[in-house]
């Protein structure tokens, strides 16, 4: 590993239900900061908003990283989403220099308009600060076919480039980026983190289609607040939505 500590404790499982759940069970033994749990075959992958995360066995990256961001107030937990999204953005940008790589709020990674990776962060809180965080990442590497529900919406490195990728190499690049972003956050480089996140955010300062409740509306994407809520403007009025309330439509 080309990192200071991330992935030095590496738990490589042939099969697991959800790597985030494995990481959660490990927390009581206080594993080293940067412990990585990777499953070659994840059978019960969990996604945002209670969704499932499907990955063909042996084809993709499904992993979780344990950090101890005890410096981060619980009401700033979204900074972890920003930094993990940026890590994936840089990893994908260096793998795919020609492609259009974007973050779809709050933390989906799109390449050429299709989802290639998702992030599920689960935090543990102690008083006003976080005590630990599990950063779960699913990145489509070599999967070529996707279930019908994701057909036209999902992609992988292989689909984009037409050749197979060495998943371990992609993982090393990802973990290096993740650690770099995490160290930036730990050094309180918050303004840089916020502006980098916005600069790669799909639809930033544009009018976009957003599903709000059952309705699809055209709104101007003004930004994302400290809590991670999407700030949308319409007719001089600014409204904030959390992940359960709004979805950016691609």
The residues of the shown chain that bind ligand BTN, judged by CB under 6 A, are 18-20, 42, 45-48, 51, 53, 62-64, 108, 118-120, 136-138
Q: How far apart are CA 30 and CA 238, in angstroms?
A: 43
Closest distance of CB 88 from ligand BTN, Å? 11
Of 55 and 196, which CB lies nearer to ligand BTN in the complex structure?
Answer: 55
Please give the residue whose beta carbon sits closest to ligand BTN in the complex. Answer: 118
Closer CB to ligand BTN, 69 or 136, in the complex? 136
Looking at the Cβ atoms of 7 and 118, the one nearer to ligand BTN is 118
The tokens describing 167, both together, are: 């998943």
Candidates 137, 180, 108; CA nearest to 36 is 137
Residue 239 CA to residue 143 CA, distance in Å, equals 38
**Measuring CA to CA, how many Å separate 65 from each of 9, 37, 157?**
10, 7, 22
Kindly state the smallest distance separating residue 111's Cβ from ligand BTN, in Å: 14
Distance of CA 199 to the CA centre of its chain: 16
- The nearer residue to ligand BTN, 50 or 162, going by C-beta atoms, is 50
The H-or-E segment that residue 10 falls in is strand 10-16
- Nearest distance in Å: CB 56, ligand BTN: 13
CB of 19 to ligand BTN, least distance (A): 4
């Amino acid at each position: 590993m080309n990192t200071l500590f991330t992935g030095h404790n590496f738990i490589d499982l042939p099969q697991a239900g959800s790597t985030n759940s494995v990481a959660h069970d490990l927390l009581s033994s206080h594993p080293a900061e940067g412990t990585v749990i990777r499953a070659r075959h994840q059978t019960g992958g969990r996604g945002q908003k209670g969704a499932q995360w499907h990955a063909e066995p042996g084809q993709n990256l499904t992993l979780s990283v344990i950090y101890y961001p005890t410096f981060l107030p619980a009401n700033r937990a979204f900074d972890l989403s920003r930094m993990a999204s940026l890590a994936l953005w840089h990893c994908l940008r260096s793998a795919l220099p020609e492609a259009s790589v974007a973050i779809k709020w709050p933390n989906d990674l799109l390449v050429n308009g299709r989802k290639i990776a998702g992030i599920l962060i689960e935090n543990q809180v102690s008083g006003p600060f976080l005590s630990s965080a599990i950063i779960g990442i699913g990145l489509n590497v070599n999967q070529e076919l996707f279930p019908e529900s994701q057909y036209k919406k999902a992609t992988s490195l292989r689909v984009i480039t037409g050749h197979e990728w060495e998943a371990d190499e992609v993982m090393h690049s990802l973990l290096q980026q993740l650690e770099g972003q995490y160290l930036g956050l730990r050094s309180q480089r918050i303004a840089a983190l916020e502006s980098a996140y916005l600069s790669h955010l799909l639809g930033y300062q544009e009018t976009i289609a957003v599903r709000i409740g059952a309705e699809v509306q055209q709104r101007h994407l003004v930004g994302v607040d400290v809590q991670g809520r999407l700030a949308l403007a319409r007719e001089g009025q600014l409204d904030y939505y959390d992940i359960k309330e709004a979805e950016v439509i691609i």
